[in-house]
Structure 1
Amino acid sequence: MKQLLELLETNSKRPVSELAILLGKSQQEVIEDIKSLEEDKIIIKYHTIINWEKAGADTVTAMIEVKITPQREVGFDAMAERIYRFPEVRNVYLMSGAYDLLVMLEGQSLKEVADFVSTKLATIEGVLSTTTHFMLKAYKEAGVIIEDQEEDRRLVVTP
């Protein structure tokens, strides 16, 4: 299963016929394996990486360090849930180190992100402090180089 997951992680649009050959299985076995992985919530969602800057979308991405007071009996989980329920929030991670949660969100402007932090996030009971970092440019995402300037150096082979 690990090999199937790795293949799907690098290219979720890879045809089942190709996966079957690479895994030494029948197409039906691969289809059943994928269905099982989806039902067991091991495969949660298929994701496309988009260069939004090139697509002409003007969005602002921010990473916010959040220090919180964990709640009795539920620890950080209840606070994380309150935060990840906001539609602006893209990702929430429990962290070790100087802060407790890393919250990533997208907005249409710096002001929109600032308003979210000041009116929604910082006002949650148990949030001790926030530090906001704005992403200026993405170079690599999910293991993929966004704008690879390197030319293909392979020799062209013709039959």
Structure 2
Amino acid sequence: MTGASLEETAEVIDRLEKNHVILRYTPVINWDLTDRERVEAMIEVRVTPQRDMGFDAVARRIYRFDEVKSVYLMSGSYDLLVLVEARTLKELASFVSSKLSTLETVTGTATSFVLKRYKEEGVIFEGEESDRRLVISP
């Protein structure tokens, strides 16, 4: 497909891993098919950036929490998007109320809970239905 040999491909991958271009290999898991309970949320966070550090210092402080899976600097009506995971709704609510919202630089949060996954990392979670549209030809 690429025209590269297996050895060349292995060398490129090895170099990318050593240069921290490839950071991790992560499986996409359909948690609905397991018996593990978990709650995920996306939290829009408004913050006051720190002098000479911008949003980086705030993001760094937030991403160190165990509950936090991802943190993104965003454009728009909020500053950071924080993806979090907990075992229960109570744990997640506790994280927001006692850890995240109490940070001195956080000025507001809006939490949205993940109710159902349809697609993640390019993987569709439910069986694709056949196309039921009518074919119209001239």
- Normalised by the length of structure 1, the TM-score is 0.79
1:50-61 superposed matches below 5 A: 50-61=29-40
Corresponding position of 2:17:
38
Ranges in structure 2 where 5+ consecutive residues have no aligned partner: 131-138
Corresponding position of 2:126:
147
Corresponding position of 1:3:
none
Q: Which amino acid aligns with 2:45?
A: V
Corresponding position of 2:106:
127
1:2-151 superposed matches below 5 A: 22-150=1-129
2-structure distance, mates of 1:98, 1:59: 28
Number of residue pairs the alignment of both structures matches: 130
Corresponding position of 1:157:
none
1:29: Cα distance to partner?
A: 1.0
1:43: Cα distance to partner?
A: 0.7
1:56: Cα distance to partner?
A: 2.2
Structure number with greater CO (CA < 8 Å, separation at least 6) is 2
Secondary structure of 1:23's match? Answer: coil
Root-mean-square deviation over aligned CA pairs: 1.0
Identity %: 55
1-structure distance, mates of 2:4, 2:38: 43
Corresponding position of 1:16:
none
Higher helix share: 1
- Normalised by the length of structure 2, the TM-score is 0.90
2-structure distance, mates of 1:121, 1:94: 16
Superposed CA deviations along residues 107-133 of structure 1, whole A, max 9, x for unmatched, are 111111110001000111110001111
